[in-house]
Structure 1
Amino acid sequence: MNNLVFNQNGAALTNSLLVAEKFGKRHDHVLRDIKNLIDSTQNWGQLFVSTTYTDNSGKSNPMYIMNRDGFTLLAMGFTGKKALEFKLQYIEAFNKMESALINKFTLPQSFSEALRLAAEQAETIEKQQLQIETQKPKVLFADAVEMSDNSCLIGELAKILKQNGVEIGQNRLFEWMRYNGYLCTRGELYNQPSQSAMELGLFELIKRTINNPDGSVRTTCTTKVTGKGQIYFVEKFLRKKSA
Structure 2
Amino acid sequence: MELKILNINGQLLTDSREVASMIGKRHDHLLADIRKYQTVLCSQDFGSEQFFLNSTYLDSRNNEQPCFLLTKKGCDMVANKLTGEKGIIFTATYVTKFEEMERQLINLNQPSYKIEDPIKRAEKWIVEQKEKQQLKLQNAQKEQIINELQPKATYYDLVLQNKSLLSISKIAKDYGMSARTFNKLLHELGVQFRQGDCWLLYQRYADKGYTQSKTHTIDSEKSKMHTYWTQKGRLFIYELLKNRKGILPIIERENQQVG
> TM-score, normalised to structure 1's length?
0.43
Q: Which protein shows a greater Rg?
A: 2
Structure 2-normalised TM-score? Answer: 0.40
